[in-house]
Chains A and B, each alone.
Chain A
Amino acid sequence: MSALTKTLLVIAIIGAFQTIDHALVMTYELVTGEADLLLYAIYEERFMLQNYGFANALTVIMITLLLGLTIVNFLISERNDA
């Protein structure tokens, strides 16, 4: 894989973490616990089930995951520069 492909892969994975629109449109307030996406879970816990603390904890987990991916992305692109 070239450097560009690797970087694009990481960006695509990070983008996939943000996928929520389709799940929201198709299951909006009809189904709970079926669309198991992380961002959807945050929305569901905070705005449907009113679990404030749990939603914030999920946010922290998600930020940690994305930060990890960002660092991986950074390391890949830096290594190819050198």
Chain B
Amino acid sequence: MPDSPVSSTALQTPGAPPAGRSRPWSHWLVTGITALLCALWAVPIIWALIVSFRPPSDSLGRGDIWFSDRLTLKSSEKATSLAPFFPDFSEEIPGHSYYVNTLEWVLLTLVVQVVTVTLAGFAFAHYNFLGKRYLFYFILMQMMIPTAVLLVPNFITIREFSTATLGIPKFILYKEFDLYDTPLAIALPYFGSAFGTFLMRQAFLGVPRDLVDAGVVDGCRWWHLLRHVYLPPSMPSLVAFGLVSVSFHWNELLWPLVITSDKARPLTMGLLRFTQLTDIGAQWSLVMAATIIIAAPLLLAFLVFQRQFIQSFLYSGMK
């Protein structure tokens, strides 16, 4: 198991007795339970990986799921041919694809969030203004009443936001627009983040006041203070927030489902499309191939940035 060597080395502090017989039995019990939990957690992913390599006609290997010898990429090929996961580069202008849509709205959200969250955190950490405390509580309330609950009001707001329903006459704005079914529409409700504001405020409060005062004495304007005094020591918080934000929005399902219909559908909609195939008999290998295609970037990113990921999730206190 990946974490047992880490935990055993972590316990070997210089003053502790050497490893071996002097270890209390409870240590081995804890390690054993951890290993068991790890194995339990790993089984679905390994199962999905193996089944995704089965041919679509024989998805469960006739009962021999783990050791059946027929492994092909046919399921992945069929899955990508059934749903537009990747842009079709053989065409002159590649059409809409799930990957491009997901990347578009996740990165758009991230970029806007980083700006708004930094500025809001800066305002709450640096300035004193009337009702600051209550305004901050008000923002924190958004952490408890999440965007998903405001599904219907948000949907109506964005659905109505088009030239047709706003009734803008042609001579004022010639170009017609419709926000519905665009990556911007998916990203809009997430442009502000209470959680990020909170995280950045805490990080900025950790910056010594003396440094800020020194900056003020040297004639810094607020953007200088933010850029050169507040931000450099707060970068770990910002990175943590970015990782949590990307992994959360990558897996977002309900909001993209209602606010897109065709062009802007992200990856999770692709998975939903495959689960609908199950009424003609469970196409497990196709569903699992689609799952792996969707989860692969995050899984790979997790393997590469494992330490960073765990630290940021610990740091930010999210699941």
Contact A70 B144 (CB under 8 A): yes
Whether A26 is near chain B, meaning CB under 8 Å from some CB there, is yes
Q: Which residues of A contact B82 (CB under 8 A)?
A: none
Complexed CA–CA distance, A70 and B146 (Å): 12
Report the tally of A-B residue pairs with Cβ distances under 8 A. 66
Given contacts A18-B146, A24-B254, A43-B254, contact A56 B319 (CB under 8 A): no
Size of interface on A: residues with Cβ below 8 Å to B:
28
Complexed CA–CA distance, A35 and B257 (Å): 17
- B151's partner among A15, A46, A70 (CB-CB below 8 A) is A46
Whether A76 is near chain B, meaning CB under 8 Å from some CB there, is no
- Bitwise, A33-44 to B at CB < 8 A (1) or not (0) is 000000100110
Complexed CA–CA distance, A15 and B151 (Å): 16
- Bitwise, A41-67 to B at CB < 8 A (1) or not (0) is 011001100001001100100110011
Contact B254 A63 (CB under 8 A): no
Chain B, range 229-254, C-beta contacts under 8 Å to A: 251, 253-254
Complexed CA–CA distance, A30 and B153 (Å): 25
Residue of B nearest to A70 (CB): B144
Q: Which residues of A contact B251 (CB under 8 A)?
A: 21
Q: Which residues of A contact B64 (CB under 8 A)?
A: none
Complexed CA–CA distance, A28 and B144 (Å): 27
Whether A1 is near chain B, meaning CB under 8 Å from some CB there, is no
Among B6-14, B44-52, B268-276, the stretch in contact with A: B268-276
Q: Which residues of A contact B145 (CB under 8 A)?
A: 63, 66-67, 70
Whether B141 is near chain A, meaning CB under 8 Å from some CB there, is yes
Interface residues of B (CB under 8 A from A): 141, 144-146, 148-153, 155, 251, 253-254, 257-258, 271-272, 275-276, 279, 319
Interface residues of A (CB under 8 A from B): 14-15, 17-18, 20-21, 24-26, 28-30, 39, 42-43, 46-47, 52, 55-56, 59, 62-63, 66-67, 69-70, 73
Q: Could you list some 9 contacts between A and B, CB below 8 A?
A: A20-B253, A21-B254, A25-B271, A28-B272, A28-B275, A39-B148, A59-B151, A66-B144, A67-B145
